[in-house]
């Protein structure tokens, strides 16, 4: 028994400890990166730090809940979650109910806190599709395309192209791993690419972001300002970094310094070496999830683990690729480090599901 417990902890303990460590580190950098802005907006420096700390406590609470809730009973829960997600995604588009910021309508103001329904959409897609595809069944393609098409359509209306891409890719990963026929999806690929092109052409801000990605120096004080400030932060960091608290970009030069761009602040203060250490934590974390997929006791747990694996990898890749100019900026947060309660809550919920699956793995 003790041998099995040791082996289990050796393999799976990082799935729990690394997110907690990163979240605590994130609290420090959120305070540091947001204090100037918080004073300017709210008159006190701890505003964003305090809210994130509350979300962290709530996140650990839902982690405990899902670690105890049998993942085999998620099907009924997933139906309610998907229905609730669609309702919230429609509500957020209604003026007076949905809260607009930065040209997008993505939040529901609940008074004390703001909730981002698109984060719930990622969670719902994972647990709903995994539960749906656990048993073999014919003629699912039309229903699958309609559901995912409707979800991505509601998300694009906000607009939130980054989350729409994540939801779409999460769906395709689970669909493929469930052993479904990919021929019809491949035939639809040209249509999807054409639609993506039309969305870029139809919305000037998307085209501007694409142009800023292709040539950041074309409009350094306009659409290229954000990516240029990110690159300045990272270049200021160099190899060893400027030192803790020494970031200059956090003084309202870098947009979204405490949210989507927090990696730039970390890179500025701790340099390439600090960023590499941070990425090593993420690498160990996603590797342990991959290991859990290989040891999953049944098809449902394998699909759930694979969806969660894809979720964290997509968030990491899209955020970090945007920070380094390899991908257009999309507003996707960095897991556990970026300010944002909805994403933190969903991330810890998914970790709770992983821990619940891990308890049933035979070591």
For 55-77, the pLDDT digits (tens) are 999 999 999 999 999 998 888 88
This prediction's pTM? 0.90
Q: Is residue 75 part of a domain?
A: yes
Q: Domain residues for 211? A: 2-358
CA atoms within 13 A on the CB side of 210: 12
Q: How much is the average pLDDT of 306-326? A: 92
As a whole number of angstroms, the distance between CA 75 and CA 52 comes to 30
Q: Is residue 352 part of a domain?
A: yes
As a whole number of angstroms, the distance between CA 273 and CA 280 comes to 11
Other Cβ atoms closer than 10 A to 330: 18
Q: How much is the average pLDDT of 176-198? A: 76
Q: For the chain, how many structural domains are there in total?
A: 1
Q: How much is the average pLDDT of 196-214? A: 68
Q: Quick one: pLDDT at residue 101?
A: 65
Q: How much is the average pLDDT of 244-264? A: 83
Residue-averaged pLDDT of the chain? 84
Q: How much is the average pLDDT of 326-355? A: 90
As a whole number of angstroms, the distance between CA 214 and CA 109 comes to 36
As a whole number of angstroms, the distance between CA 348 and CA 356 comes to 12
Q: Quick one: pLDDT at residue 138?
A: 58
* Confidence bin at 24 (pLDDT 50/70/90): very high
Whether the link from the prior residue into 159 is cis, omega within 30° of 0, is: yes
Q: Is residue 363 part of a domain?
A: no
């Amino acid at each position: 028994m003790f041998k099995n417990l040791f082996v289990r902890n050796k393999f799976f303990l990082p799935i729990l400890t690394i997110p907690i460590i990163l979240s605590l580190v994130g609290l420090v950098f959120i305070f540091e990166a947001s204090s100037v802005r918080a004073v300017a907006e709210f008159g006190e420096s701890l505003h964003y730090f305090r809210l994130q700390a509350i979300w962290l406590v709530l996140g650990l609470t839902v982690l405990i809940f899902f670690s105890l809730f049998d993942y085999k009973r998620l099907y009924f829960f997933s139906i309610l979650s998907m229905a609730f997600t669609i309702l919230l995604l429609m509500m957020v588009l209604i003026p007076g109910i949905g809260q607009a910021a930065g040209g997008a309508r993505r939040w529901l103001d609940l008074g004390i806190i703001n909730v981002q329904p698109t984060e719930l959409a990622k969670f719902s897609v994972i647990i709903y599709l995994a539960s749906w595809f656990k048993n073999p069944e014919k003629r699912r393609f039309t229903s699958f395309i309609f559901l995912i098409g409707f979800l991505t359509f509601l998300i694009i209306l906000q607009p939130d192209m980054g989350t729409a891409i994540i939801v779409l890719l999460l769906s395709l990963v689970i669909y493929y791993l469930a052993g479904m026929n990919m021929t019809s999806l491949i035939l639809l690929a040209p249509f999807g690419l054409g639609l993506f092109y039309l969305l870029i052409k139809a919305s000037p801000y998307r085209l501007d972001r694409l142009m800023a990605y292709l040539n950041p120096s074309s409009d350094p004080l306009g659409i290229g300002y954000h990516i240029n400030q990110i690159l300045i932060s990272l270049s200021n960091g160099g190899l060893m970094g400027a030192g803790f608290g020494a970031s200059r970009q956090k003084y309202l030069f870098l947009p979204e310094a405490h949210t989507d761009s927090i990696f730039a602040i970390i890179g500025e203060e701790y340099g390439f070496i600090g960023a590499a250490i941070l990425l090593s934590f993420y690498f160990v974390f996603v590797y342990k999830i991959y290991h859990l997929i290989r040891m999953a006791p049944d098809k449902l747990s394998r699909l759930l683990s694979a969806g969660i694996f894809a979720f964290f990898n997509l968030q990491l890749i899209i955020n970090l690729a945007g920070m380094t100019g390899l991908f257009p900026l999309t507003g996707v947060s960095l897991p556990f480090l970026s300010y944002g309660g909805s994403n933190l809550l969903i991330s810890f919920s998914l970790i709770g599901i992983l821990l619940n699956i891990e308890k049933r793995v035979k070591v």
